[in-house]
Each structure stands twice: as structure tokens, then as C-alpha cells.
Amino acid sequence: MQRIVIVGGGAGGLELATQLGHKLGRKRKAEVVLIDATPTHLWKPLLHEVATGALDSGIDELNYRAHGKKHGFHFQIGRMSGLNRQKKSLVLEAMLDEDGKEVLPERTVDYDTLVIALGSVTNDFGTQGAAQNCIFLDSRDQAERFHKLLLNEFLRCSNLEEPRPLEVAIVGAGATGVELSAELYNTAEVMASYGLKNVSPEQLKVRLIEAGDRILPALPPRLSAAATRELESLGVEVMTSTMITEVTDSGFVNKSGEHIPAVIRVWAAGVKAPEFMKELGLETNHANQLVVNNSLQTEDENIFALGDCCSVIDKATGKPVPPRAQAAHQQSSHLVKALSARHKGKAMPEFVYKDKGSLVSLSHYSTVGSLMGNLTKGSMMIEGRLARLVYVSLYRLHQVALHGYWHTLLLTLVGHINKVIRPRLKLH
């Protein structure tokens, strides 16, 4: 029986494993194996909400092993560290517990077809002190670390006789940086409503730092300006055309030598694929992404890649497909068809990216974005409640791809019930 191994349980990898499990795994036409370094899945665009406490990851996470049993694929926990193309096997590094004791030894996993869907990590561009002094939001663990740090800082503020601002600085004004900035004010608002002394949106000082001349460069200038106005009305100091050259334990230093103070420092600028991708013996670009053709196939005909860790050219624009959740979703849907055709010995279809626009949520305050992208001659710009509705629907579509419509409907209902019976914020 042919074995299809998928490495990476992010949005694209998990959707692919689920759909191939339905088409091939359940029918015993192929063995589908999903590998991830963690036991659970959380949709990456929600990490800023986990960081601020607006979302409880323990409720929204999905267990890979249980999901695989239900949907026809097998799960193995492990972190990929190497590849042997001649033997058609990959290496999983040894798994250690918190005390450094070995839980699982280094292992090899054989494959007939390999799909690499390892996503991306934040790119600090080698900035001095960034790795040591900043928090990144690439994983659930990092988001929960930020959450604990934020709660501790609120507690410190509450114990002061004289209130002082809580200074947070975020480098990178893409979707993550902008959404985190707005969500922080919602957190301060809710914490104040629960009676925490010296904590309020007025006591929060968030600086959003961007090297470019405007925030949200992926959106049209009008929407970028609207988001800037909304953030500034909340109290965010938007600092554009500001290049950071160094990070210290007390803040950021810009190109002019000016020090920007911050108790909490976040780096959310730039993305790249994991470093070890350059060592797999496959063609990569400057961002460590695997270069793939229009069938999402690497130079090795048995190895495919999808999502943020791959670079594929969009024929409509002649530019690489942007690293977005919608691209990973479309690529996983494409590979379900392509790998099913390959399994039958038929020609694989080419991947065609359809830009459906971008949406950015400013917590409950507002949502801005553009729809349709290259599906029409122009894009339709939306703001407010309509944009918020569309933004929420993106997560529901991800859930539909994993669970189907009825299960997603139940999850939506449970979510509304939790809003009534649970605190508005995770307070621990």
C-alpha cells in the first residue's frame, strides 16, 4: 500500500491529511500519515487572541491523534530534522521531556510520497538582540508565554501606589502586529472591568513600529489609512518609516540611535521557512522556502510542499503566491486532487491561485479589508460589521474543511454558549 506522509499539521497540512484520509485512507487505497512536533492543532491566525487571553487555546485546540482516528489517517508526534531522498525516508529528532529525559528516540519514517507543510517562522533578519529580547508569535507555546507575561505586568501595575503606563512595542505592522495592537486594548478594557487597579486602556502604551511608509502594505492605501486612524483612536502610537537596528532588555533602538522603551517587546516582522529546510538537498530561495512547480512539486518528483514553506509563482501576476492562510487552504485542496490523480497514474492538474483579498481584525472595535482580489478587475473594500462577519467566516471555513458542516455548526453553537457562561478573558 502506498504511504503518503505529510509533515506539518498547520492549516494546510491538517486539511490535506483530513481530505486524503477520507478519499484514500478510509478506503485502504493508501496509508496517510501526519507528523507534527506538537499533539494539538490551533489555527495560526488566532494566536494573537491566545496571546491576549481573548481565546482559550485549551477549548479551541484539536487533537491530531483523535482527529486522525475519526478521519482515516495516522498521526506520529515528532520534529523533522533530516531527509534521505535515496532511501525515501525522513528523520525525526529524539523527543525529550521537560527534564531532558528521552521520551522517544530518533526515528526514521519511510514514505512513497512526501508533502512538506511546515509553515513559517518569524524572520528577525539577524537584528542584534531580537532573538534574546523579543517574543515571537509562531506557536501556541509562544502565545501562552506572552499571555503569562502580560498578566504578570498587569498585576505589577495593580500593586503600584502611583499608576504608570505599561509600555508594549511591536515591530512589524502586518496583520499580526496590527491585530495584536488592537486586541491589547480590548484586554486592558476587560481587565479594568474586572476591577484590577491601575489597569485601563489609558494606562496602556502600545507602539507599533514599521520600517515601511504605512501599515498593512498588503491592503489598499485607503484601508491602511483607515486602520491607522482606528489604532490611533485606541491609543496606539503608529511609528512608520522606522528601522530597528538593535533590541535590548529595555526596548528597541532605531537607525537614528533613538531608544524606544518597552517592557514587553514583540517581533512580528517578516516570515521565513525553518532554517533546516536549506539542508534537505532541495532547491530553496532566500527565505528558506522550497521552490516548487505549478503542481506544487519540488525537483524530486516524490516530494511536494504547500503553505508558507513553499514558493510557487502565480501565473496571473508573475510573483510568488503570498504566505497567507487562504493560499495554504487552496494548495491543500489542490493537492487532494493532484495526489489522488497521481495515485491513479493520471496527470496532475496545475495549481491556480485565486486571490480572495485580505482582512484584518481590530478586535471588536473594527475590521478592514478587501475582497475578491484578482477575481474581478478590482477589489471591493469593506469595513465594519460586514468585514467582521467575513473575517469570522474564514475560521469557520477552516473548521468545515476539517469537520464538515454539522460539526462546525455545533462548534459555533458551543462557542456562543461559552461567551455567556465563561469569563470574557482568560485570566490565568
What range does the domain containing 173 cover?
124-269
CB environment 127-153: b (16+ within 10 A), e (fewer): bebbeebbbbbbbbebbbebbeebbeb
Task: Kindly report the backbone phi and psi dihedral angles of residue 270, in degrees, each rounded to the nearest multiple of 5, phi listed first.
Answer: 80, 150
Percent of the chain with pLDDT over 90: 75
Using alpha carbons only, give the angle 136, 261, 197 rounded to the nearest 5 degrees. Answer: 90
Residues 233-256 pLDDT 10s: 999 999 999 999 999 999 999 999
pLDDT of residue 371: 61
387: left (phi over 0), alpha (psi -120 to 50) or beta: alpha
* Residue 204, domain member (yes or no): yes
Q: Are residues 114 and 210 located together in one domain of the fold?
A: no
Task: Kindly report the backbone phi and psi dihedral angles of residue 173, in degrees, each rounded to the nearest multiple of 5, phi listed first.
Answer: -110, 40
Q: Are strands 89-92 and 107-110 parallel, antiparallel or unpaired?
A: antiparallel
Mean pLDDT of all residues in 173-181: 94
* Residue 162, domain member (yes or no): yes
State which of 313, 343, 373 marks the end of a domain.
Answer: 343
Residues 419-428 pLDDT 10s: 888 887 887 7
Answer for the pair 283, 299: CB distance below 8 angstroms, yes or no: yes
pLDDT of residue 219: 83
Residues 284-332 pLDDT 10s: 999 999 999 999 999 999 999 999 999 999 988 899 999 888 899 999 9
Q: What is the rounded CA–CA span in Å between residue 42 and residue 50?
A: 10
**Is the per-residue pLDDT at 378 higher than 60?**
no
For the ranges 58-62, 92-96, 352-356, 389-393, the one whose mean pLDDT is highest: 92-96
* Residue 300, domain member (yes or no): yes
pLDDT of residue 220: 83
Q: What is the rounded CA–CA span in Å between residue 163 and residue 158?
A: 8
pTM (2 d.p.): 0.92
CATH of the domain at 201: 3.50.50.100
Say how many Å lie between the first and final Cα of the chain, rounded. Answer: 48
- Number of structural domains (the chain) is 2
Q: Are residues 252 and 304 located together in one domain of the fold?
A: no
pLDDT of residue 92: 97
Residues 352-366 pLDDT 10s: 999 887 778 887 777
Q: Are residues 229 and 212 located together in one domain of the fold?
A: yes
